[in-house]
A and B are shown apart, each in its own frame.
Chain A
Amino acid sequence: MAGAPLLSVERLTTVFDTASGPVTAVDEVSFEIRPGETLGLVGESGCGKSVTALSIMRLVVAPGRITGGRLLYRGRDLGALPEADMRRVRGAEIAMIFQEPMTALNPVFTIGDQLAETLAVHGRASGRGARAAAIDLLDAVRIPDPRLRVDDYPHQLSGGMRQRVLIALALACRPALIVADEPTTALDVTIQAGILALLREMKAAFGLSLLLITHDLGVAAGICDRVAVMYAGRIVEEGPVRAIFRRPQHPYTRALLASMPGVPGQRLTAIDGSVPAPGALPAGCAFGPRCRDRFDRCATTPPPDYAVGPEQRAKCYLHAPAATGVPGPPTHGPR
Chain B
Amino acid sequence: MALVEVSHLVKRFRRGGGLLRRPSTITAVDDVSFAIDEGETFGLVGESGCGKTTTGRCILRLVEPTSGAVRFRGEDVLAYSPKRMRAARRQMQIVFQDPYGSLNPRMTARQIVEEPLIIHRMGARAARRERVAGLFGLVGLDPAHLERHPHQFSGGQRQRIGLARALALNPSFLVLDEPVSALDVSVQAQVVNLLMDLQRQLTLTYLFIAHDLRLVEHVCSRVAVMYLGRIVEVGPTGAIFAAPRHPYTRALLSAVPIPDPDARRARIVLDPAAVSREASLKEIAAGHWAEV
Contacts and interface: CB of A to CB of B under 8 A. Distances in A.
Interface stretch (A210-218, A299-307, A324-332): A210-218
Interface in A183-222: 185-193, 196, 215-222
Interface string B213-254: 111011100000000000000000110000000000001100
Interface stretch (A4-12, A80-88, A98-106, A132-140): A98-106
A260 interface: yes
Interface string A243-266: 001100000000111011100111
Interface stretch (B82-90, B163-171, B182-190, B280-288): B182-190
Contact of B257 (A102, A218, A266, A269): A218
Given A191-B48, A241-B261, A148 B24 contact: yes
Q: How large is the interface on B (under 10, 10 to 19, 20 to 34, 35 or more residues)?
A: 35 or more
A159 B211 CA distance: 12
Q: How large is the interface on A (under 10, 10 to 19, 20 to 34, 35 or more residues)?
A: 35 or more
Interface of A: 16, 18-19, 42-46, 49-50, 99-103, 144, 148, 151-152, 156-161, 164, 181-182, 185-193, 196, 215-222, 241-242, 245-246, 255-257, 259-261, 264-271, 274, 277
Contacts of A260: 185, 214, 259
B259 A221 contact: yes
A186 B181 contact: yes
Contacts of A158: 48-49, 53
Interface string B244-278: 00000001100111111111000100100000000
A182 B218 contact: no
B259 A193 contact: no
Contacts of B94: none
A259 B48 contact: no
Contacts of B155: 45, 50, 99-100, 181-182
Interface stretch (B30-38, B125-133, B140-148): B140-148
B47 interface: yes
A299 to B, nearest CB: 21
B201 interface: no
26 contacts: A45-B182, A45-B184, A50-B155, A99-B155, A101-B98, A102-B98, A103-B100, A148-B24, A157-B49, A158-B48, A186-B97, A189-B255, A189-B256, A189-B257, A190-B47, A215-B184, A216-B212, A221-B257, A242-B261, A242-B262, A259-B185, A259-B186, A260-B259, A264-B218, A274-B142, A274-B190
Report the 8 A-B pairs with minimum CB-CB distance, sorted nearest first: A160-B48, A45-B156, A218-B257, A268-B189, A270-B189, A215-B184, A100-B100, A189-B255
